[in-house]
Amino acid sequence: MLFEEVKQQEQSYLMPTYGRFQVALVSGKGATAVDTEGKPYIDFGAGIGVNALGYCDPDWVEAVCGQAAALQHISNLYYNPVMTQLAETLCKQTGFSKVFFANSGAEANECAIKLARKYGVQAHGESCNRIVTLNNSFHGRTVTTLSATGQAGFHQYFTPFTEGFAYADPNLESVQAQVDQNTCAVMIELIQGEGGVCPLDKGFVQALAAFCKERDILLVVDEVQTGVGRTGKLYCYEHYGVQPDVITSAKGLGGGLPIGACLCTERLGAVMGAGMHGSTFGGNPVACAGALAVLKKITKPGFLEQVAQKGDYLREKLAAMDGIEEVRGIGMMLGARLKADNAKAVATACVENGLLVLTAKNMLRFLPPLTITQEELDKGLAILQETISNLQ
């Protein structure tokens, strides 16, 4: 099918929930995608951070295809050796004790919210169920995770929301002002991705972790976008020198297949009993096989160091570009503010010129595959500079 045929089909049969760029992608290899007309694109977005190994990594493809040919799905009424292997791998690599598998980041966050509330009720009484999140945060699109999201723009039309959330600014005084005797958890993103690629201050995060520990309030870190090597560490909290009670993971974990994970420390491992939570497709064998392939590759000696180096290189080149005012982020999760404040126009023009980039508020957002080559990086940067220059 050609692009116009795909576009017409989309308009005829899909709910108009997405503002799409004018391209239909059909294949890819590494960090290069190809559209219906055969045009190549350097991809600096990786499916919003999902394609951690790029397009069609041979080891990932082999693992996924092999599992699909053996057993594509079983319900969670039965033991699943691929899921248990992934659980052991994740727990041993992170130091967490137990994990629940879901289909997405929003579902992983739903599990974290339920876990925190059940712990609060058990440890401190029936009314200990409030969760503090941060202004400018984003935690998902279910009714409950929208309620947890600290952005008013996401709260239109869908009330009434799940109760029990309060919002604070990213400083300790503001969080303390929102905490009361019924607070069971504080939930944060270490880099607010949808909020404009805003890293939290390290001193604030460390002070918050100490405050939560002192009050027996759970520290929940949403690593849906920051996790699985994205920042040059396996998980972003390692940059901050803190140990969360709960982290959530998704996006890059599956390497292109839907998976979410909620990991907790040993003292929380038995909080959620049989029947308390579940997911039909959570821990699907094919998705777990893909995740195992991702983890095997990114934990090889030197891999994460290369991610950090590529992130430093990308930051340096972006900061030196004519037309870019500011660059922020960590590793391969970066945002750039343009002097002309025309991020959406630049992103649209980049597609026309053969580069896929993302936006977040008024920022260009960069989440390249962790495996992107130097040649692909340089080619994409050249297209970006030319595009910015032409629109100034």
Ligand-binding site membership of 280 (annotated) = yes
Is position 141 annotated in a ligand binding site?
yes
222 labeled binding residue? yes
Beta carbons within 8 Å of 322's beta carbon, 6+ residues apart: 385, 388, 389, 392
Q: Does 225 carry a binding-site annotation?
A: yes
Tokens of 340: 């002309």
> SS3 string of the chain?
CCHHHHHHHHHHHCCCCCCCCCCCEEEEEECEEEECCCCEEEECCHHHHCCCCCECCHHHHHHHHHHHHHCCCCCCCCCCHHHHHHHHHHHHHHCCCEEEEECCHHHHHHHHHHHHHHHHHHHHCCCCCEEEEEECCCCCCCHHHHHHCECHHHHCCCCCCCCCEEEECCCHHHHHHHCCCCEEEEEECCEECCCCCEECCHHHHHHHHHHHHHHCCEEEEECCCCCCCCCCCCCCHHHHCCCCCEEEECHHHHCCCCCEEEEECHHHCCCCCCCCCCCCCCCCHHHHHHHHHHHHHHCCCCHHHHHHHHHHHHHHHHHCCCCEEEEEEECCEEEEEECCCCHHHHHHHHHHHCEECEEECCEEEECCCCCCCHHHHHHHHHHHHHHHHHHC
Q: Is 105 annotated as a binding residue?
A: yes
Is 106 marked as binding a ligand? yes
Binding-site residue ranges for N(2)-acetyl-L-ornithine: 141, 279
Binding-site residue ranges: 105-106, 138, 141, 222-225, 279-280
Binding-site residue ranges for pyridoxal 5'-phosphate: 105-106, 138, 222-225, 280
